[in-house]
Amino acid sequence: MELTSRQRIQNSIRGQATDCVAVGPYMYDVAVAFSGVVLRDFYTDADVMTKAQLALHEALDQDVIAVGADNCYIAEGFGCKTTRERDELPAITESPAKTLDEVFKIEPLDPYRDGRMPVMIDAIKQVRAAVGDSVAIRSPGTGPFALASYLIGSQTWLYEVGMLEAGLTEGTEDAIRHALEVAAESLIRFGKACWDAGADIIHCGDSLASCDMISPSTYERFALPYEQKVFQAWRDHGITGSLLHICGDSTRVLDMYAKSGAAIVEVDNMVDLSVAKQILGDRVALMGNVHTINDLLQGTPESVEEASRRCIENVGGGNHFILGSGCIVPRDTPIENLQAMVRIARSIHPTAGETTPA
């Protein structure tokens, strides 16, 4: 049985048999360094983004092409001011709300009009037209807790949420809930548009909801319900490849991740994959978690092969699993290291977990 990359990913999400381990490192601007395009053009021009990602795929033949660049493309639609440097990704310099009460003026966005969401949607369409049905596509997508923080600034947001959670302030919950509802609805609309454009994996990256930033109880109260709302709306739209990505050591909340409604949970390299598999079981597909710095950026092809093999072994041989990176692959990662990651995945049959001649 030989599957296309898209079939391999779809089967892995469903927990069905595949011919080898599915592989999809989380790669955005590494395509810039490889293809030689200008970074600012990459994150503002769908044609350039498509060209760069297709060139990277030609060199790697990974199962998933990830369309995206940065975390500001939705936020800009709310009125966030961002940088536009030639060789650096955008960063938010000013948020639209100066006080928490001002978030009541902000409404959900139109993905076909606002921010740089149209750039991402167009790039997904172009990549799908170029690869046909052969390769899976992963969309970007900022999670509701993180996206809500951009409305007033992340530090202010964490302070206000923390004070409310601790019972040290009153009268702010309605504004916090409004910001989360606006963020969730905007992501719902964007995810649906990405799916309709041809994406297979619809991303919800809620990294500010990391256990490195907030407590499990805060996550359960202020992040999980809105992630659940997003994933339910996506399921109702027919989306079968929803993905939850939250950076950091999420071991304490992995059970809640399984209850989020996501089809795929992608874990960072701080998480022991064997523990994650034990907690999550077969409730979701697991994705990860080759170390982006120690292995991919600073390692060798041999060390990447070893790390990749260890990831596959830690999940019991690769069933219901996609070999990926712990987070975004750094821009200057050697192409040889990424090729080694794909090569190992191609050589292992997931049901047996044994290496076969490549």
User: What is the largest distance, in Å, between two alpha-carbon atoms of the chain?
Assistant: 64
Closest CA to 126 of 67, 179, 170: 67
Asked if pLDDT for residue 356 goes beyond 50, the answer is: no
Cα torsion angle, 232, 236, 237, 241, sign = positive
- For residue 253, what pLDDT band results from cuts at 50, 70 and 90? very high
- For residue 16, what pLDDT band results from cuts at 50, 70 and 90? very high
* pLDDT for residue 115: 99
Question: Mapped to the 3 state alphabet, what secondary structure does 286-305 carry?
Answer: EEEEECHHHHHHCCCHHHHH
How far apart (Å, rounded) are the C-alpha atoms in residues 348 and 358? 9
The count of structural domains within the chain is 1
Amino acid at 334: P
How far apart (Å, rounded) are the C-alpha atoms in residues 107 and 103? 9
Amino acid at 130: A
Name the pTM for this structure: 0.96
- The pLDDT tens digits for 207-234 are 999 999 999 999 999 999 999 999 999 9
Q: What angle do CA 350, 330, 112 make, to 5 degrees?
A: 90
Amino acid at 285: A
* pLDDT for residue 351: 61
List the CATH number of the domain containing 303. Answer: 3.20.20.210
Amino acid at 342: V
Range of the domain at 115: 5-355
- The pLDDT tens digits for 323-339 are 999 999 999 999 999 99
Amino acid at 124: I
How far apart (Å, rounded) are the C-alpha atoms in residues 152 and 101? 10
Asked if pLDDT for residue 357 goes beyond 70, the answer is: no
